[in-house]
Structure 1
Amino acid sequence: MKIGIIGPTENEIMPFVKCISNDKIVSTALLKFHNGIYNNINVVALYCGVCKVNAAIAAQILIDRFNVTHIIVTGVAGGMGKSLKIGDTVIATKIAYHDVSDGILTEYHPWMESIYFKSDELLIEHCKRALKQERFEQTVHFGKVVTVKHL
C-alpha cells in the first residue's frame, strides 16, 4: 500500500509532512511531493492549491509518477448536514459531483453504475478503528460528500 495525501494549502498539509521520515522531495508541475514513510506506511504528500481541478491534477501525478494505491484528500470545506458543527470532520463514504449532470457519468465514459464514487471500504474500516482507539477533540462523521464549484 502506498498512500497519496493531498491538501489544498501549505498550512493544512505541512503539519503532517513534518511527521514523514526519509522525506525525499520531488518537484514536478510546480508542485512539491514529499515522498517517505509515516507509521511504517509509504506515503507521498503535497499541497496542490485550492479547487478540485488542482486536486485532480495532483491525484493523477500521484497515480502516474508515484504509483500510489490510495489517495486521501484533506482540507477545509463547508457542510450542509443538520448535525454538522464548525470544526467537525467528515469522512466520505461516497462522493458525487454537484455541478455535473448525473447522466454525464452514467450514460457516457466512465459509464458508472451510479453518480457516486465509493470510498475504499478498507480505509473506512481503518478510520473507524482509529476512532475507537484514539481520542479526538472534534466530532467525526461518516457520510456522503459532494463537490461544488465556487459560485
Structure 2
Amino acid sequence: MAAVVSLTLRTAAALLAGAAVLSACFTDRQNEGQRLYATHCASCHGAQGEGLRRLMPPLAGSDYLRRHRDELPCLIRRGQKGLIVVNGVTYDQVMPAHEDLTDSQITNLLNYVHNAWGNQGAKHTIREVSQLLEACQGSDGR
C-alpha cells in the first residue's frame, strides 16, 4: 500500500512539474503581440494605436486593417513606402521593415492590433501568415 501511495505522489508531482513548465511556455507568449507592438510600433502609431496627426496613420479604428488584411504580413516584414489612405486621410511616410520578427511573432502582433482599441478583426493563424508572406518572399517558417 505504501508503494502505491508513493508512486501516486511521485506521479502527481511529475504532472504538476510538467504543468508548471507548460504554463511558463504559454505565459511567456500570452501577451507577446502587445509587447511586440510596444517595442516595434508604438513610437510611431501611438500607445493606443491613435497615430500621430497627419504624419503616422492610426491603427485604432483603421479601415486600412480591414481592407488590406492579406497584405499586412508583408507590410510588416518588408516595410512600406508611398502613399496610403487610412480613414480617408492620405499618409506618405516610410514604415521600416521588421525582418527580424518571425512568422509567429508577426502573427501575434497582427492578432493584437486586430483586436485592440475597439478593432474587431479576424484572427490570423501562423500557417496563414507564412503563406501570405510567400508573396514577398518573407516567410521564415518560424
Does the pair score TM above 0.5? Answer: no
Give the TM-score, by structure 1 length: 0.24
**Larger-Rg structure:** 2
Which protein is richer in helix relative to its size? 2
Which protein is richer in strand relative to its size? 1
